[in-house]
Structure 1
Amino acid sequence: MTGQVMFDSHVVARLEHAVALVNALTDGEARGRPYAAPGGTERWAAIEAAVPQDGTSALARTADGTQAELLAETARRMREVFEAVQAGELDVAADVVNALLHATSARPRLDRGAGGDWQLHFHGANDSFASGVGASCATALALAVGGGLAERLGVCQAERCDRVYTDTSRNGVRQFCSTACQNRTKAAAFRARKGAAG
């Protein structure tokens, strides 16, 4: 699908949170190096960086191990969605998203924001931070998978990198999690061509 249908800004923000949580809280490889997800107090710092306070959420942030572990488990499940989509297994992706929606008790509701405007949230007013963020991310993934935009969810195609991304570009041809991975791949291809020619 080309750039004719895109996510709205609210969904993009929640997908960005999902990507940031998956990339911060799951083991694997990042930009050509092994990546170990942080634990302990570093885990909460990674969560804070992945889901910055933007003034639109009434969810209370409490830096505790239980909340951090819940978000880490949610991130591991969200990674399964990206990997299933990448493999062309949309039924698997949908099953995982449904399980996430159920586990986080995701449900849409309108709440008044700080400025008095109505804002769409995907969690209850009294949900924990981990549950609320998980519900919002799960709903955004559901909108992507169920809205004909699953191909916009990807896993980096660079060698030795498995970080995920959401392609919000107009033409929908993104293949890498970052410019660094794209440049690394181009440089490797250039060296290979140069070696073959010499």
Structure 2
Amino acid sequence: MLFASHVEVLLEAAVNLVNELTDGERRGTPYSAPRGAHLPMAAAAALPRRPGVEPPPAELPADGAARLARAAREMRGVFEAVAEGRVDDAARIVNALLLETGARPQLDRTPGEPWQVHFHGADDRYGAGWSAGCATALALAVGGEVGTRIGVCRAPHCDRVYVDGSRNSARRFCSASCQSRVKAAAFRARRAGVPDPESAS
């Protein structure tokens, strides 16, 4: 485990929010993020559901969903900056997010569990709380030894993001689907006698 469990949940939320609530490309096709009446349900669905974590409602209030969508667009910039080696830019984006969300630490405890440091926003609404928590988790990642483990999928026509939890920090794709697409394309290229650009780099 690379992070404390609470931080892992927040990083998972950051990845999900960026991948579900920002436009771009996903697994080889253009992707348009949900908007309008579809956004509150999509934002709620992007939040992690784990044992010991209060499950989000099936649909968020419109203002909370909009706030999460804005945060997701900002967080995308963090993943992209780190993937491109622009850590200073990533840090500036994270600092702006921390300030905007009013992120603050607080000791919380669920029944039967020890006290844990959780991260809260300027108020207790879902949009503010999750935005602040995700910003803090990204701050801990970018400012820690595992900052290079956040990235953007390297498969063609995909810009979804990920956090690499592998032991050897070898992850390069957002999903097994994209990894399979790249392997299949490389196999077809070898059969056709075309050099693999990945192996040449």
> One fold, TM greater than 0.5?
yes
Q: Do the aligned partners of 1:17 and 1:50 also contact (CA within 8 Å) in 2?
A: yes
Q: Do the aligned partners of 2:18 and 2:76 also contact (CA within 8 Å) in 1?
A: yes
> Counterpart amino acid of 1:19?
V
> Residues 98-132 of structure 1: CA distance to partner in whole angstroms, max 9, x if unpaired?
00111111111012324464232111595211110
Q: Do the aligned partners of 1:33 and 1:161 also contact (CA within 8 Å) in 2?
A: yes
Mapped pair 1:36 → 2:32: yes
> Residues 44-74 of structure 1: CA distance to partner in whole angstroms, max 9, x if unpaired?
2221221145453498887222111110000
Greater relative contact order (CA < 8 Å, ≥ 6 in sequence): 1
Please provide the CA RMSD for this pair.
2.2
In 2, Cα distance between equivalents of 1:61 and 1:91: 37
Q: Which runs of 5+ in 1 are unaligned?
A: none
Q: 1:116 to 1:167 in 2, by over 3 A?
A: closer
The equivalent residue for 1:22 is 18
Mapped pair 1:100 → 2:107: no
In 2, Cα distance between equivalents of 1:6 and 1:116: 20
> Counterpart amino acid of 2:31?
Y
Pick the aligned partner of 1:181 from 175, 178, 192: 178
> Counterpart amino acid of 2:157?
R
The equivalent residue for 1:6 is 2
Pick the aligned partner of 2:189 from 170, 175, 192: 192
Pick the aligned partner of 1:147 from 144, 149, 157: 144
In 1, Cα distance between equivalents of 2:55 and 2:116: 11
The equivalent residue for 1:169 is 166
Q: Percent identity?
A: 55
In 1, Cα distance between equivalents of 2:139 and 2:90: 9
> Residues 130-183 of structure 1: CA distance to partner in whole angstroms, max 9, x if unpaired?
110011101110000001211100000000000000000111010000000000
In 2, Cα distance between equivalents of 1:177 and 1:116: 33
SS at match of 1:196: coil
In 2, Cα distance between equivalents of 1:125 and 1:74: 14
The equivalent residue for 1:69 is 66
Give TM-score scaled by structure 1 length: 0.90
In 2, Cα distance between equivalents of 1:68 and 1:126: 15
Q: Which runs of 5+ in 2 are unaligned?
A: 195-201
> Counterpart amino acid of 1:45?
M
The equivalent residue for 2:82 is 85
- Give 1:6 shift: 2.2
**Matched residue pairs, number?**
193
After superposing on structure 2, the runs of 4+ consecutive aligned residues of structure 1 that deviate more than 6 Å are 58-62
In 1, Cα distance between equivalents of 2:49 and 2:122: 17
The equivalent residue for 2:132 is 135
In 1, Cα distance between equivalents of 2:128 and 2:55: 13
Give TM-score scaled by structure 2 length: 0.88
